[in-house]
């Protein structure tokens, strides 16, 4: 029996040993046949030594010797595979970053870090590359500003494709963490006739076609033709999320939000992703803080577990040891400090800042980063003055000039997250809405307090900023595939 | 040892037996303390008989007798819990759908379907309800049109909160299925200066503030002030997804897309969600068809496994046996038929239609539903005439008047999904773009064919339509929390 097992070993694909069979094998089987037969990962995991395979991918490096050519092939997964092929089989079309299909045999790799490689027999170039005008060369460093100029070709670089894979792990970790914690995932609307924060920095929409505007709006203005009123791109799904939290006590949404700000900072985009969560029956900031902390830490944990190779690639590019910084983050218990305490600290150190802090006012980026350094890591800044925060935040029971809210500040980025308890007392909210002239447009929101509205609380987290923080990427434009900023929307 | 085990049994929460401990216990522990201690699910699973608990939720039914009051409490999860409490402890504020916190003891339930119930001691109403003006009463049927009028209160109804939970399971199943299949999740932009389908039914954006338009645009038109050019809301992320599939061979995105159509059909929204996937090194429709089929079936499987109670609630409302229809779907192998075959079939039956089919033209909804009935279930309709399909589809190698593409038609809904191989031959694509006057604006897209562009293929699936199909919900407005349709965007 033992001998039989050993004989079989050579013919059994690696996946079986790693116990990585797909969870619903039956449905996956026929798909497997088509989509995965050629993937680099599948060759490494599923095909025993000696089997004939076809590998499809891009040539990430190529070294032609007189008789033999060595290549590394990537199909966009983490793993690359080495191919050794007679040079006579390669014509000049087969070059750096061309798309190829290589047929050959799986053989034991003599010295590579991978257990197997491909002994290539035939190669077919299915996507040629114009090497003269291709903006990237092999094994060269290009600064982010240069890479950003080639935005549609950026996914072909090793660093950016690693960032995309890690971003995928992070956004998936965020959702999975909440779903395991019994949150329900919902879609809040992008188009809204309300402007949640009241800040006015919104985009307005209308049908592009004048004909459609006339057909639908008659004599109304084009921007009021389709919906009979002005409609904007959302700046936050929070108010709508609160309505849903009137029936389901833990909900979240992850989607795009928009700001028409004229900002060129390395932390701002006109279009960015927010993870927003709302918790009913919440009359204390604590569950909000702990949910935020666990989301940040679970994301760190997942990329450490599943993205280690990519962390090295990104870390090398930015000169950071990401494994070290992420492990440090996991060990750090997030600090909590009140606005009052923070302000005293800032005022004591007023000489360290370009713009001195002002008691009662919002903080600048330099103040945020000072606080984070002082506290030694991510810091919850709680209990802010009511007059610099939005209308929906709950007045503190202890001090009426304060609201129960939190900003999470993190190293390198500053504000990552904002959250609060919501004002659920009908009369107080009503008078605030009246004062802001919002009583009519937000009457539905006030209504929620009339019909079994529990105390609720929630938060919004900038997804690109979380990625920037975890991967130590200085500029959020190097995270989203197609960043939108003032004067910049090329495609 | 065995005796010891039996004694402990009474004090061990149910979750331990079901082996449903959270996967990353350490991080969850402190969160648990705050968020979950009071959840209905946690009372049912984690608290042994005899323990003191506080349950927080909404009163879903209440029956007051002289001495005792019986209630069912929901916190928005699938499970409700029965509370038995002295009537003297309940004042009139405690009514249908009010938000309450009840402290009491877990006791064995004498006849309920649940193993335990709460022997309530104290009740606190934390969110009163104005029963006079609340639009819903207990145990009453309201038609969807009526419920839709109360859109911000709709999540408080049993049927709609079940639809939200099932929708969450489905969108999570879609993402998980693709991630297990090694797809990478990305965010394609919502704002774009390209109009993918070229159909012209797009929304145009501009900063709402005239001051901002002047500050940023000088003398330019308001709609060209922020980005220096006209920018639209995306109708599809496909073109951008193809650029990413130039470096990562399997990618997907799930996000909002927009159409400024003047349509009032029960299948159309101005804002809806699409799941779009792109597969590089794909020169055959088959992997596209199998990925689509497995997404639909995995979604069906997941809601059968995890949403059975909610399926009964939704099924009862719409008079459907969802367990039966979903199991039938799982058994059915999706049919495949060419446009040519389909047209012959339709022409043979031309008398059955209000609008007769026209050879070479697109199909109407009645034609789609006829085909689906004829084929006995979901049907892939492949190989369409090139002249009624968009420019990016690949001309068929066998017949140049055809393109390699697919529409998935499903019962009750019609078109659920559209996909194709993409034209990856530089010269052919270039001349098509020239003919459409798109060469300049889509030069970047053409570029992808110059730099290692492999053959690719992909598809887009309407998420709301998938939910409508699986749950047999006739109108997509009854699926999204805040539907946007012509003349309708109230909040």
DSSP characters for A155-198?
Answer: GGSHHHHHHHHHHHHHHHHHHHHHHHTTPEE----SEESS-TT-
Burial (CB < 10 A; 0-12, 13-18, 19+), residue B221, is exposed
Burial (CB < 10 A; 0-12, 13-18, 19+), residue A200, is middle
Contacts of B64 (CB under 8 A, 6+ apart): B87, B90
A328-345 residue pLDDT tens: 999 999 999 999 999 999
| Whether the predicted pLDDT of B26 surpasses 70 | no
Structure tokens that stand for A27 in this block? 């449905």
What long-range pairs does A441-447 form, CB within 8 A, spacing at least 24? A441/A193, A441/A194, A441/B491, A442/A194, A442/A239, A444/A243, A444/B152, A444/B490, A444/B491, A445/A194, A445/A239, A445/A242, A445/A243, A445/A392, A445/B152, A445/B491, A447/B152, A447/B153
B203-207/B379-385 β-pairing: unpaired
Contact assignment for A248 to B191 by CB distance below 8 Å: no
Percentage, residues of chain A above pLDDT 90: 83
The pLDDT of residue B8 is 41
- Averaged over B183-196, what is the pLDDT? 91
- Averaged over B131-135, what is the pLDDT? 95
The pLDDT of residue B22 is 37
Burial (CB < 10 A; 0-12, 13-18, 19+), residue A79, is middle
| Whether the predicted pLDDT of B312 surpasses 60 | yes
Please check whether residue B198 touches A, CB under 8 A: no
A162-221 residue pLDDT tens: 999 999 999 999 999 999 999 999 999 999 998 655 566 999 999 999 999 999 999 999
The length of chain A, given as a count of residues: 491
A280-334 residue pLDDT tens: 999 999 999 999 999 999 999 999 999 999 999 999 999 999 999 999 999 999 9
Q: Report whether B98 contacts B125 (CB < 8 A).
A: yes
Please check whether residue B273 touches A, CB under 8 A: yes
CA quadruple A254, A257, A263, A265: dihedral, nearest 10: 10
Q: Nearest CA to CA, how far is B327 from chain A (Å)? A: 14
Helical ranges in A335-462 per DSSP H: 339-348, 365-375, 426-435, 443-447
The pLDDT of residue A376 is 96
Contact assignment for B152 to A484 by CB distance below 8 Å: no
Q: Report whether A137 contacts A157 (CB < 8 A).
A: no
Q: Complex ipTM, two decimals?
A: 0.93
Q: How far, in whole angstroms, is CA B2 from its chain's centroid?
A: 49
Structure tokens that stand for B145 in this block? 């049109």
CA–CA distance, B445 with B439 (Å, rounded to integer): 9
Q: Report whether B454 contacts B316 (CB < 8 A).
A: no
The pLDDT of residue A6 is 39
Q: Please tell me the least confidently modeled range out of A139-153, B71-85, B195-209.
A: B195-209
The pLDDT of residue A420 is 98
Q: Which domains does chain A have, with CATH numbers?
A: 10-134 (2.40.50.140), 154-199+235-478 (3.30.930.10)
Q: How confident is the model at residue A9 (pLDDT cuts 50, 70, 90)?
A: very low
The pLDDT of residue B31 is 36
Contact assignment for B273 to A187 by CB distance below 8 Å: yes
Percentage, residues of chain B above pLDDT 70: 91
Please check whether residue A272 touches B, CB under 8 A: no
CA–CA distance, A154 with B128 (Å, rounded to integer): 55
A80-86/A116-127 β-pairing: parallel
Q: How confident is the model at residue B190 (pLDDT cuts 50, 70, 90)?
A: very high
B389-421 residue pLDDT tens: 999 999 988 777 999 999 999 999 999 999 999
Contact assignment for B212 to A164 by CB distance below 8 Å: no
Q: For residue A171, which of B145, B133, B175 has the smallest C-alpha distance?
A: B175
| φ, ψ for residue A453, nearest 5 deg | -80, 115
Please check whether residue A137 touches B, CB under 8 A: no
- Averaged over B46-58, what is the pLDDT? 91
Q: How far, in whole angstroms, is CA A417 from its chain's centroid?
A: 14
Contact assignment for A452 to B128 by CB distance below 8 Å: yes
Which of chain A's residues have a Cβ under 8 Å away from the Cβ of B61? none
The pLDDT of residue B15 is 56
A94-145 residue pLDDT tens: 999 999 999 999 999 887 677 899 999 999 999 999 999 999 998 899 999 9
Q: How confident is the model at residue A43 (pLDDT cuts 50, 70, 90)?
A: confident
- Averaged over B326-347, what is the pLDDT? 97
**Cα–Cα–Cα angle for B80, B171, A415, rounded to 5 degrees:** 90
A335-338/B80-86 β-pairing: unpaired
The pLDDT of residue A7 is 38
| DSSP 8-state secondary structure symbol assigned to residue B264 | -
Q: How confident is the model at residue A38 (pLDDT cuts 50, 70, 90)?
A: low
CA–CA distance, A392 with A241 (Å, rounded to integer): 13
Average pLDDT over chain B reads 90
Q: How confident is the model at residue B196 (pLDDT cuts 50, 70, 90)?
A: low
Best of A39, A132, A201, A249 to mutate (most B CBs within 10 Å, chain B): A249
Which of chain B's residues have a Cβ under 8 Å away from the Cβ of A38? 281
Measure CB to CB from residue B233 to each of A133, A205, A229 and give the nearest one.
A205
Q: Please tell me the least confidently modeled range out of A127-131, B53-57, B111-115.
A: B111-115
Please check whether residue A149 touches B, CB under 8 A: no
CA–CA distance, B392 with B195 (Å, rounded to integer): 13
């Amino acid at each position: 029996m033992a001998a039989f097992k050993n004989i079989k070993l050579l013919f059994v694909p690696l996946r079986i040993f790693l116990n990585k069979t797909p969870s619903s094998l039956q449905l996956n089987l026929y798909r497997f046949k088509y989509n995965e037969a050629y993937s680099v990962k599948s060759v490494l995991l599923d095909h025993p030594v000696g089997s004939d395979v076809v590998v499809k991918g891009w040539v990430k490096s190529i070294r032609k010797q007189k008789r033999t050519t060595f290549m590394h092939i990537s199909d966009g997964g983490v793993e690359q595979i080495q191919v050794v092929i007679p040079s006579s089989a390669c014509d000049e079309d087969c070059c750096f970053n061309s798309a190829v299909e290589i047929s050959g045999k799986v053989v034991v790799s003599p010295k590579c870090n991978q257990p197997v490689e491909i002994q290539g027999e035939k190669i077919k170039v299915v996507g040629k590359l114009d090497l003269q005008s291709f903006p990237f060369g092999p094994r060269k460093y290009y600064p982010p500003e240069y890479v950003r100029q080639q935005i549609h070709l950026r996914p072909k670089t090793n660093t950016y494709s690693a960032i995309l894979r890690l971003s995928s792990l992070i956004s998936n970790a965020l959702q999975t963490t909440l779903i395991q914690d019994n949150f329900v995932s919902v879609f809040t609307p992008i188009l809204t006739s309300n402007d949640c924060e009241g800040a006015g920095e919104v985009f307005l929409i209308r049908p592009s076609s004048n004909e459609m505007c006339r057909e639908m709006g008659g004599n109304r203005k084009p921007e009021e033709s389709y919906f009979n009123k002005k409609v904007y791109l959302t700046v936050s799904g929070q108010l709508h999320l609160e309505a849903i939290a009137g029936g389901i006590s833990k909900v979240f949404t992850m989607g795009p939000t928009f700001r028409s700000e004229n900002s060129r900072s390395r932390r701002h985009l006109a279009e960015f992703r927010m993870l927003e969560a709302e918790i009913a029956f919440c009359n204390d900031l604590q569950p909000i803080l702990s949910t935020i902390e666990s989301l940040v830490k679970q994301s760190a944990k997942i990329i450490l577990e599943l993205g280690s190779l990519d962390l090295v690639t990104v870390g090398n590019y930015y000169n950071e040891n990401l494994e070290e910084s992420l492990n440090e983050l996991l060990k750090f218990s997030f600090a909590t400090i009140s606005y009052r305490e923070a302000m005293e600290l800032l005022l004591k150190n007023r000489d360290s800042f370009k713009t001195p802090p002002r008691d009662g006012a919002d903080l600048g980026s330099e103040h945020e980063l000072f606080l984070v350094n002082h506290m030694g890591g991510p810091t919850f800044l709680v209990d802010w003055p009511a007059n610099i925060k939005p209308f929906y935040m709950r007045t503190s029971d202890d001090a009426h000039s304060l609201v129960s809210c939190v900003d999470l500040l993190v190293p390198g980025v500053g504000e990552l997250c904002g959250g609060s308890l919501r004002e659920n007392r009908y009369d107080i909210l009503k008078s605030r809405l009246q004062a802001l002239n919002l009583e009519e447009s937000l009457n539905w929101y006030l209504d929620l307090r009339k019909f079994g509205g529990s105390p609720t609380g929630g938060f919004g987290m900038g997804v690109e900023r979380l990625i920037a923080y975890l991967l130590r990427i200085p500029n959020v434009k190097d995270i989203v595939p197609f960043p939108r900023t003032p004067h910049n929307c090329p495609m």
